[in-house]
Structures are given as structure tokens and as C-alpha cells.
Amino acid sequence: MNVRPSVPPPPLHQVTHPPRAEQQLQLMGGFEEKAYLAGKQMKPGEDPYREHAFNLQESNRLGSERAIRDTRHYRCASVNYDADLPPTSVIITFHNEARSTLLRTIKSVLMRSPASLVQEIILIDDFSSDRESLSLIQMMRSPPGLIRSRVRGANAASAPVLTFLDSHCEVNADWLQPMIQRVKEDHTRVVSPIIDVISLDNFAYLAASADLRGGFDWSLHFKWEQIPIEQKMARSDPTLPIRTPVIAGGIFVMEKNWFNHLGQYDTHMDIWGGENFELSFRVWMCGGSLEILPCSRVGHVFRKRHPYDFPEGNALTYIKNTRRAAEVWMDEYKQYYYSARPSAQGKAYGSIAERTALRRKLNCKPFRWYMENVYPELRWAHARTQVHAHRCTHKHKNTRTRTIKHISGRPVTLTRPACVGSDVCVCVCVCDAFFRVISVCLFPRLSPACINTHNRNHLYGFL
Ligand SMILES: [Mn+2]
């Protein structure tokens, strides 16, 4: 998951949630928490960030239960949910997780979920080097990688709804009901909470903005972005769901049958990364939808580096996985991915035959439909990406035309009709969806013709 920009906590009334429902903690039976935590201690003088890329000393100091601020909009507290919501299996995959963060994740689920909704918590140990069993609710070891671990957990789940949760989280008040309600109303919805920020330094719980959704650029780099202004203006009720083109991927709720029907995950993806794009494209294009629910909040420790060992290196794994997503789902638009990530061209990505067969079987819509209906804003980003990524700027001096190497590898001739009269112009090629050069922009002098070109660029979200 990526770093989510946080905002200063709003001046809400300090509603905290002390441990409640003692009977839930009995689920943990005779679990010896003290012994478990004491079983792996930091060595004196050890760098507290070394092993987990967050401040382990702070995490250990906090204990397994703590009160956190209720970061929801105040109107969320008065939303009603059905009394007969279906139960869920909470699937937590972890890889070399610190014991204190993992335990806090589990206990926050037990403390802040209605007992009737949590049928089980399934812990999947994703090949950790700390092999001591937690002997908690249900625990399995898995072949390496987040993606395969999730599939393992989903296959083991006995409840009709799956809740995937990261292993360094703290769920907030009533986090589960809004998500299960939406899935109950329409089983094709895949929903996620607003992901609050737990500081990796001092473990402060910070409210994230409620105006963000998941987006990406053509290199398939995930980013949080503002909801488009028209949608924001149309939101009369802050408790309503936010449609999102992609989910961050670490925390979401989905019906189990729908998860299986849509083909679970692409298990030929390695370790970590890119699976959220593959899942998001698949959900949208094959008849479902993705939402962020503002009345559900889950805190997550956002880290700056991975604790995973990537056998092939972090970047190569990401490229292989995203290349698989692009090849299977992006149709002719995959060329933008390759132009934004030229190094992906030669990278082996394995066979995608099974996944393309799945796409045919499910009769999924083309990526063009996704672009037009789910993420039209990506087109705007597109021109910008190309120009920045490929430096097709060129000084024009006194020649009328100039041939440059285009991102597609083909030579492109830039003409400068608007440039007549200027001594020095910088020309920028901007390309449309089919790599046709659609304009040439000029600086620093803006003749009337140049201004037209400038406006045209503006139309494409460039400049
Ligand atoms: Mn995480």
C-alpha cells in the first residue's frame, strides 16, 4: 500500500473506544499474550526501525489494546444498518510482522466489531522467518507472497463475506457494518474503508481526508487523488459511498462467491504489487464496482520501504505483475503503460493464457469502457505523463520542421506553423490515444497562433 497524505486531525469530540465486549476476547481462549509478546524482544541498542521499517519500540510500548479517536464524520454514528447482516471471515496475511502490531490488529477487530459479524479470523503466515505459532484462532502457513496467501485464506474461509486486512492495522468504531451492508445490498460491490494513518514513528492515529479516491498513472503507480470536483459538489451527504477507479488493495470486503466467480487473484503474480490493479480492472470490467465507504475507518501503518525480500528485486517484481495486469486487461491502452515504463518491454511475465480465457469466459467489457465510464480523468493525465516521461521537448531554432524520436520509437516530424516569427521556441509534442501528434506548443513567445495551441494543450490537461 502506498503512503496516504494525512490531514491534521479535525477538532472532533474525542470519542475513544475502550475495550468492550469482554466475551469477544474470550475467543482468544487461553492465549498467553504476555508470554507471546515477551518471546521476541528488541535487543538493547538495536535500531527500532531496522526490522519492520517502523518504530518497533513505540509499538511495543503501546500494548495490545488502546483507545483511538473515532475519525468518522459525526453523521456516521446515526446511520442504521440491517440487523441481519451476513457474517464475515477476516483474513489477515502477514510476513515477518512485529508481534505487537499483529496482536493490536487482531484485538482491534475483536474489540470493535459486532460479535455476530466476525465468524472467524484467519491468520495466514506468509512465510515469515519468525516461525513460532501464534496458536490463535486459525492459522496457516502459506507459499510465499501476499497474493497467494490471500487466495489460501479465501479458500479456507467459511463465511459468505471475505474481509481482507493488513497486519499492522487498527480498525475503528463500527468499521465492519457499513462495508457488509453495501455488499449485502449488491453482491457485485467490492468496498474498502477510508484508510487512516498510524504514524510509523510515534504510532499516533491520524485521520485521513475523506475526499480521496484511488487513482493511478500510466506506469500503474497507485496514488490517492481528490474526488473530481463535479462529484464532490454533488455529494450532499458525507456518509455516502465514493466510487473509486482502483482500490489500494490492502483492506477490502467482498462476497466470497463473487471473489471466486471473478477468478480470485492472478496467482502467477509474484510476492507483492500490482494485484490491486488487476483486481480493480477485473471488478469494474466484469460487472462489479469499487467503493470507498467514509463511515468505515481503519488505521494502517504506512511504511516507506518493504519488509519483504523480493527474490528478483522490488522493481522487477512490480514490473512483472503490472505487466501481467496490462497485458490481460488494458487492450490497446497498454501501449501507454509501456511508454511510461519502457523497462517493462523486455521483462518476462509468464503465460497469461488462463487469465485471458477467464476474461473471455466472464464476457468482460473492454478497457475503453473503463476509460470512458470509470476513469475518464486518466486521459488528462496521459498527455502530461508522456511529455514528462519522454522529454520530447525540442528547441526549434531556425528550422521549420524537426524530426525527433517519438516515444513509440517511430520518428515524428514536428512542424511549427505557429512558430513563425519567434526566434527560439520550445516545442512539445502531445500525442492522442493512438500516438498521433496532435499539437506543438511554443514558448516563450506566445503569438496568437501559439496561444491557440496553448489552449488546446490546456484542454488535454497539459501545462
Ligand atoms: Mn501495509
pLDDT of residue 89: 95
State in Å: Cα 226 to ligand 1 middle.
22
CA of 210 to the centre of ligand 1 (A): 20
Q: Is the pLDDT of residue 436 over 90?
A: no
pLDDT of 448 = 30
Q: How far are the Cα atoms of 52, 228, 342 from residue 105, in angstroms, in the given order?
A: 15, 33, 39
- Per-chain residues with Cβ under 5 A from ion ligand 1: 1, 166
Cis upstream peptide for 417 (omega within 30°): no
pLDDT at 24 over 80: no
Ligand 1 centroid–CA 104 distance in Å is 14
Q: Ligand 1 center to residue 97 CA distance, Å?
A: 10
* 220 Cα: distance to centroid of ligand 1 (angstroms): 18
Give the chain's length. 463
In 3-state terms, what secondary structure has residue 58? Answer: helix
Strands 161-165 and 252-255: antiparallel
Compute the distance between CA of residue 308 and CA of residue 205 in angstroms, rounded to an integer: 24
Q: How many angstroms does the Cα of residue 359 sit away from the middle of ligand 1?
A: 29
pLDDT of residue 131: 60
Q: How far is the CA of 96 from the centre of ligand 1 (A)?
A: 12
Distance 168 CA to ligand 1 centre (A): 6
Q: CA-CA distance, 457 to 449, in Å (whole number)?
A: 13
Quick one: pLDDT at residue 310? 67
pLDDT of res. 354: 97
Distance from residue 307's CA to the centre of ligand 1 (Å): 10
Is residue 446 pLDDT above 70, yes or no?
no
What does the mean pLDDT of the chain come to? Answer: 77
Give the per-residue pLDDT at 101: 95
Report the pLDDT averaged over residues 204-209. 93
Ligand 1 centroid to residue 98 C-alpha, Å: 12
Q: What is the pLDDT of residue 273?
A: 86
Amino acid identity, residue 133?
S
Position of cell 508481534?
99
pLDDT reported for residue 305 = 73
Q: How many angstroms is it from 11 CA to the middle of ligand 1?
A: 27
Instruction: Compute, in angstroms, the gap from residue 201 CA to the centroid of ligand 1.
Output: 15
CA 1 to centroid of ligand 1, rounded, Å: 6
**Gyration radius of the chain's alpha carbons:** 25
Q: For residue 291, what are the β-bridge partners?
A: 191, 243
Distance 250 CA to ligand 1 centre (A): 7
The confidence band for 405, taking pLDDT boundaries of 50, 70 and 90, is: very low
For residue range 229-275, list pLDDT tens digits in order: 889 999 999 999 999 999 999 999 999 999 999 999 999 998 878 99
Q: Could you tell me whether strands 401-405 and 411-415 are parallel, antiparallel, or unpaired per DSSP bridges?
A: antiparallel
pLDDT value, residue 417? 34
Q: Where is pLDDT greater, at 213 or 305?
A: 213
Q: Which one, of 370, 381, 209, 214, lies nearest residue 297 by Cα?
A: 209
What spacing in Å lies between the alpha carbon of 345 and ligand 1's midpoint? 29
Expressed in angstroms and rounded, the spacing between residue 362 Cα and the centre of ligand 1 is 31
For the stretch 284-325, pLDDT in tens is 999 999 999 999 999 999 887 766 666 667 788 889 999 999
By percentage, how much of the chain surpasses pLDDT 70? Answer: 71
What is the whole-number distance in angstroms between the Cα of residue 74 and the centre of ligand 1?
Answer: 27
